[in-house]
Structures are given as structure tokens and as C-alpha cells.
Amino acid sequence: MTGKNLNSTDKKVKQESISSEDRVEKLVNAIVKKLKQGKGIEAMSLVAEGQMHHILSSTPNLPKYLVELMGKKMADKLIGVFVHSPCPFCKKGRATCENCEGHGHMKHEMVCLDCLGFGLVKCDFCDGSGWSSIDSIPAGLRALVLYQRTKVAKTRIKKILVRPVPNVAQYKPVVILKKCAQLLMDLNRYIGVLENTITGQNELAKSRYWPQSKVKKIVISCIQTAIDAERKAREIVKHMAEIARTQTEKPDEDSDTKKLAAVRAEFYESLLDSSNVFAGTNLEHPFLDEATKKLSGRRSDTKKDDQIIL
């Protein structure tokens, strides 16, 4: 090859390199602009577009690469947008129960089993988490987003765990039942996040952030938090049964209300007979339940180390 041809080739490679760098810089500037404008959804779309055109990496190194390109503050902000990106098919993980059409009961004679009388069920698409599916997150960010979502869910569950059940002296029975239902739905939402972490643990394992031992600890932590949440759920359901019983004794309640209250009391009491108050309902989390049973089985087979240290 002549010297002229070599110079021509070098020039072409250099031009392509400059062009690639310009495309990355232009895209990153556009993403940062959207973030500063509070247009997180549009920033997410630009990231997806950048990966589709191979401008941005899709490897596990993407978070580190983003920090280098836009600084830690903006990179954290972008990742935060993905962490809280909403499910496109529901609001906060909830959907109207089709079985009872959102009433929570059938003609005041039967509590709807699917929704536990709440009129709402978990969204099947996001498993009740209220956040977009992990498959919709750019591949290079999935592990980090999954981990951040887990931390948020555990923090919010812990806040619910210490929240007292509504006081009968402060509210009417119907108000207390609604507040209890709200607490249960909130618990169910974040339990859904933990279940998504367990079903998506392969994404954590594929990342370069944590060794396999750390991934196992994250999963075990999810299970233990879910067990605590289940315990709180039982406490709330027991309180709901008691409140419904008192409602049947209210002289100012009409006959339909008293009839439904009696049915509710019996229904909620029956839920307490199960090891899982959500079992057999739309609010159940089967993959998490299976993981819990497996963990309990392993622990029962072990003579020592009864408590798992995280």
C-alpha cells in the first residue's frame, strides 16, 4: 500500500472516530437538557434511541460510562428516573377488580375473594410494583435499577411496619377499614417489588457490581423483609376483622351495611387461618412464596446458623 493510501485510510478512521464522539456528545447533551427540564420520560427515550443506534453502550459498564460522560449528579438523576419509571398499565400497581367491578363485594352478601374486598387488585404486568418492567430498562442499567428499587421497597416497608393501625376512637369503622385496606395495598405493592427482584436475580448476577455471594444476600434480604411484611399484613387483617365486628353492633348502621360487616368479619377471620393472608387471591406473590419455602427448607435442614446474617 502506498503512503498516499495509508494517509487516506488514517484520515478516514480519524473522521469516523470524531463523528462517533460527536454523536455521543450530542446525545448526552440532549439527555442532560431533558433531565434539567424535568422531562425524565423523554430522557429515557433518548437513552433507548442511543442504544438502538449503538451510540451508547449496553454493557454492564453503562452506569460508569454515563458518569464519565455527564458527571455523577446527572448520571444518578438519570438512573433515578429509570428506577421510578411508572408502569404504563396501572397506577401505583393497582387495577380495578373485574370480578366485583371495583365494589369489593357481591350485593352485600359476599366479600370478593380476588381483591379481599378492596375493589382493587395488583397489576399483572408489573406484579403490583407500579414501576415499569425490568425488561423495559436498558440492559446495562437493569441490575442497578433492580437493586435501587429493592432498597426503596425495603425502606418503605419498614416505615409501614412501624405505623400503628388506625385507632377506633379517632375514626368511624368504614374509615378505618379503608385506611387498613390502603396499608395492605401499599404493603402488597412493595412486596411485588421484592418479588420482581427475586425473579430478576439473574440480572444482578450478570452485573459486575456484586459477587454471587452478595446477590444471594440481596435475595435473602428480600425474602426476610417480605416475611416481616406478611406478619404486618396479618396484624392489619386481624384489626379489620375486629372493626367489622364492631360495625355489626352499631345501632345507626342500615341493614345492608351490618350484613356486609358481618360477612367481612367472617371473611377476614378466615384469612388468618392461612399461612399467607393473600393466598388464593390476586394479591398473592407465588414466586416469592416459593422462594420463602425453599429458604425455610434449607434453614430447617441446617443444625446451626438459625438466623441468617446479612
| Residue 13 pLDDT exceeds 70 | no
Q: Is there a single domain that holds both residue 154 and residue 34? A: no
Lowest mean pLDDT among 10-14, 53-57, 255-259: 10-14
**What pTM, to 2 d.p., does this model score?**
0.83
In a domain, 88, yes or no: no
Q: Is there a single domain that holds both residue 276 and residue 153? A: yes
Q: Is there a single domain that holds both residue 48 and residue 152? A: no
Q: Is there a single domain that holds both residue 18 and residue 157? A: no
Higher pLDDT, 59 or 160: 160
In a domain, 310, yes or no: no
| Residue 55 pLDDT exceeds 50 | yes
From 59, 83, 107, the end of a domain falls on 83
The number of domains in the chain is 2
Q: Is there a single domain that holds both residue 237 and residue 152? A: yes
Q: Is there a single domain that holds both residue 129 and residue 237? A: yes
Can you give the pLDDT at residue 298? 58
Give the pLDDT band of residue 52 (cuts 50, 70, 90): confident
From 49, 83, 117, the end of a domain falls on 83
| Residue 241 pLDDT exceeds 50 | yes
For 103-143, the pLDDT digits (tens) are 999 888 899 989 999 999 999 899 999 999 998 898 889 99
Q: Is there a single domain that holds both residue 151 and residue 279? A: yes
From 83, 118, 139, the end of a domain falls on 83
In a domain, 110, yes or no: yes
Q: Is there a single domain that holds both residue 65 and residue 189? A: no
Closest C-alpha to 185, from 238, 241, 147, 236: 236
In a domain, 257, yes or no: yes
Q: Is there a single domain that holds both residue 125 and residue 208? A: yes
| Residue 97 pLDDT exceeds 80 | yes
Q: Is there a single domain that holds both residue 107 and residue 222? A: yes
In a domain, 307, yes or no: no
In a domain, 175, yes or no: yes
In a domain, 305, yes or no: no
Domain range enclosing 73: 3-83
In a domain, 43, yes or no: yes
Q: Is there a single domain that holds both residue 267 and residue 172? A: yes
Can you give the pLDDT at residue 14? 45
Can you give the pLDDT at residue 195? 94
Q: Is there a single domain that holds both residue 57 and residue 118? A: no
